[in-house]
Amino acid sequence: MRNTLYTLLAMAALAAPLSAKGGSELKGKFYFIKNCKTCHVEGKSGGVVTPLIKTQAQWKAYFKADKHAKGKEKLGAHTKLTPAQMEDVMTFLVAHASDSPQPMTCGG
C-alpha cells in the first residue's frame, strides 16, 4: 500500500509540469467553435478555417504574428477572448494541425 502511494505521488509530481505547459485543448476547441466558427465556415466572410489548414509550425507563427483578417487587425480584437483563452485556442489548433498526430477538422 505504501509503495503504491509513493508511486502515485511520484507520477503526479512528474505529470504536473506537463499539464501546466500551454493551454487546454478541450477549452481551446470550445472557444474556437464558439468564437471563431461564427465567421470561419463555408459561405461566411472569414472563409473556412479548421485546424487542418495549417501545420503546427504555421499555427504557432500565426499566433506569434498576432494578426487576423489578412493583417488588418490584432488577433482576437473582434472577440472577448482573454490572452489565456487565446492560448487555449492556439493549443487546440496546434495539437490538431495537418501534421499533428491527431489531425481534426472541427466541423466545417
* CB contact at 8 A, 105 and 51: yes
Structural domain includes residue 64: yes
The domain that holds 73 is classified in CATH as: 1.10.760
Q: What is the tens place of the pLDDT at every residue in 19-64?
A: 335 899 999 999 999 999 999 999 998 899 999 999 999 999 999 9
The domain tally of the chain equals 1
Structural domain includes residue 12: no
Structural domain boundaries, residue 37? 22-108
- Tally Cβ neighbours within 10 Å of residue 95: 20
Nearest to 104 by CA among 86, 94, 83: 94
**pTM, 2 dp:** 0.76
Structural domain includes residue 11: no
Structural domain includes residue 57: yes
Helical spans, DSSP H, in the chain: 2-20, 25-31, 56-65, 83-95
Enclosing H/E stretch for 67: strand 67-68
